[in-house]
Structure 1
């Protein structure tokens, strides 16, 4: 099969073409695995989420109206994020803590932007799952606190608290890394 554009590939997938489904999976596998791994603690869990997510993509593809590649990519990404959140909820991995901080303080995590992607991912994956989930949804995916509260079934204040604590923890971890290396 020739290299198809995304719209043609989707059309072939909608008609049940298995080779087209395989090509679409191969095209989106790596970036969607990146999405899944940000939420899950282990690679195995991320792979499970990825496979469940692609299953839902292919099941729901007939109802998807293609506008452009970015819209399609966003649609698939939302499915992956929702699958990750469902797995975290199902396994009762999301432990949201109560608000007890003054949330109006802004935490400077600018050193994060200077880190290598792999090191940054490793650091983010090491924080507690509740913090990591809200951090990813807010900072990476661009969801508002209102949207996060609806997705996770928590209050807006709890979402803000989790983000605050995630940033504080990441900053403390970065500061301790700097001290370890004498920078």
Structure 2
């Protein structure tokens, strides 16, 4: 399936809207891999990611009539999958976000210490992607959600706070704590304490 060809995309979308099983199957196959990677970033494991993905695709198919075919279909699908994953994380009972009046409990200013942390994280970038993903999945749901939204999805703290119904300070605090936890997980991995 060539998703760069507008005619093929329109035909595929029309088939999905009509409820044509083959079109829906082809659509699902075309996006499964990339969207599963997105879900894996938010989920605690593969099984949960599958749940996020299935629920997300249901929403994609329900909303397909509203796709205008003006922008990227992949970007449109990805946004729905990301938002669905965030919603599912938010609904989980274990997703206890750290609520604070202010984030001054954690030093979030630009400092030598923060630069050293960033440099250390960059050193670990040579670790294989599947290892990094497994370490990110070890973060608490609150830390994992904020980390993914900020680092991977490039969302500003204000948007993260609005999406997760937390304060901007809590978003910053959760990100800082996620980075600290990841640093510890990376160190343990590097030193053989997998």
Q: TM-score, normalised by structure 2?
A: 0.84
Whole-angstrom CA distance in 2 between matches of 1:150 and 1:34: 24
Out of 175, 185, 188, which is 1:176 matched to?
A: 188
Gaps of 5+ in 1: none
SS in 2 for 1:154: coil
Matched, 1:123 2:129: no
Describe the SS at the equivalent of 1:12. helix
Question: Which sections of structure 2, spanning at least 5 residues, go unmatched?
Answer: none
| Equivalent residue number for residue 75 of structure 1 | 76
CA contact (8 A) 2:89 2:145 kept: no
Pair 1:8–1:167, CA change in 2 (3 A): same
Instruction: Give 1:12 deviation, angstroms.
Output: 2.5
1:31 aligns with one of 30, 34, 37:
34
With 56-65 and 106-115 compared, the bigger mean Cα shift is at 106-115
Which residue is 1:165 aligned to?
A: 177
Alignment equivalent of 2:107, drawn from 102, 109, 124: 102
Q: Which residue of 1 aligns with 2:94?
A: 93
Structure 1 residues 63-108: Cα deviation after superposition (integer angstroms, max 9, x where no partner)? 110124xx22122111111211222222223222244211114331
- Distance in 1 (CA, whole Å) between partners of 2:58 and 2:43 is 18
2:48 corresponds to: 45
Rate the CA distance shift 1:85–1:37 in 2: closer, same or farther, 3 A. same
Aligned-pair RMSD on alpha carbons?
1.9
| Equivalenced residues, count | 178
Which residue number in structure 2 is paired with residue 58 of structure 1? 61
TM-score by length of 1: 0.88
